[in-house]
Structure 1
Amino acid sequence: MLSPATKRIMVVDDEHDIVAIIQNILKRYGYNNVDSFTNPIEALHEFEGANGSSYDNNRYDLLILDIRMPVISGYEFAKKAKSIDPKIKVILMTAFEIDDDKSRQDLPVMKYDELVKKPFALNSICKAVERQLASQ
């Protein structure tokens, strides 16, 4: 398994404070290749360029996406990302109440790997990242 320093992570949330917090905490845990975006369209273009090519060195290993964003939701982003790179790991974030038993029914039918509820404890986002990267 690659060390955290070699993993490439993209964080997308329309709130600048959220992406800054996640980027800073992940860097403290040794994840040095963290790109953050507050514009989901710009982020999707970056992802397409990185993961849509056959060159593996610049590929993203994990996406951390807010569900509710303007222009394109985290669901839509994840669906497009999975069509470009079916192996990409996706962590979705939401500030809205979700009942675990009910979440699979209410959430759109799409493939995501983990759901994190905001506000989250800083170490919980790191643990989610560790789980997803360890399962690659």
Structure 2
Amino acid sequence: MEKKKVLIVDDQNGIRVLLMEVFSSEGYVTFQAPNGKLALEIVRQESPDLVLLDMKIPGMDGLEILKHIKSIDRDIKVIMMTAYGELDMIKEATDHGALMHFTKPFDIDEMRMAVNMQLRGGEPKNRYAVGS
């Protein structure tokens, strides 16, 4: 079975390193990007199964990146990471297809469990039943 791919997009190096370690040890192939431009290149080349996306990134912000990811491949799962009370942005992100969000500083175990649930099942692949 092919390994699932996780892309971590955050301008903070420490967070990228931490998440890369966590998800590599979970058996995922991990990629990282400090900005939107690089993130979208990786999305096009590697088509990750899931993207952990920081809301506040200099240059192209998380919402913009999210819209681009979804226009490249609607099926890529996206979990947002937000700093603090960015509730209006969180709602907009959800409208654009983000599955959930974690507020920093997040509980790394909760994040790990959420990603595992998204990538290893625990719920149907799509939130909608597909009729024949």
Q: 1:75 aligns with which of 63, 85, 93?
A: 63
**Structure 1, unpaired ranges of 5+:** 51-58
Alignment partner, residue 103 of structure 2:
117
1:8 corresponds to 2:28? no
Q: Which deviations, in whole Å up to 9, do the C-alpha atoms of 1:48-82 show, x marking residues without a partner?
A: 233xxxxxxxx310010000001111111111111
Report SS of the residue matched to 1:30.
coil
Q: 2:91 aligns with which of 94, 107, 123?
A: 107
Given that 1:14 and 1:40 are in contact with CA atoms closer than 8 Å, whether structure 2 keeps it comes out as no
Alignment partner, residue 53 of structure 1:
none
Alignment partner, residue 54 of structure 2:
66
Q: How many residues align?
A: 120
Alignment partner, residue 30 of structure 1:
27
Aligned residue identity for 2:114: A
TM value normalised by structure 1 = 0.79
Given that 2:35 and 2:60 are in contact with CA atoms closer than 8 Å, whether structure 1 keeps it comes out as no
RMSD (Å) for aligned C-alpha atoms: 2.0
Q: How does 1:118-133 map to 2 (within 5 A)?
A: 118-133=104-119
Q: Which shifted more, 19-28 or 41-50?
A: 41-50
Report the Cα distance in structure 2 between the residues aligned to 1:105 and 1:67, rounded to whole angstroms: 8
Alignment partner, residue 79 of structure 2:
91
Q: Answer 1 or 2: higher relative contact order, Cα 8 Å, separation at least 6.
A: 1
Aligned residue identity for 2:22: I
Given that 1:68 and 1:94 are in contact with CA atoms closer than 8 Å, whether structure 2 keeps it comes out as yes
TM value normalised by structure 2 = 0.81
Report the Cα distance in structure 1 between the residues aligned to 2:107 and 2:57, rounded to whole angstroms: 21
Report the Cα distance in structure 1 between the residues aligned to 2:34 and 2:114, rounded to whole angstroms: 21
Given that 1:114 and 1:128 are in contact with CA atoms closer than 8 Å, whether structure 2 keeps it comes out as no
Alignment partner, residue 38 of structure 2:
42
> Post-superposition shift, 1:44?
0.9
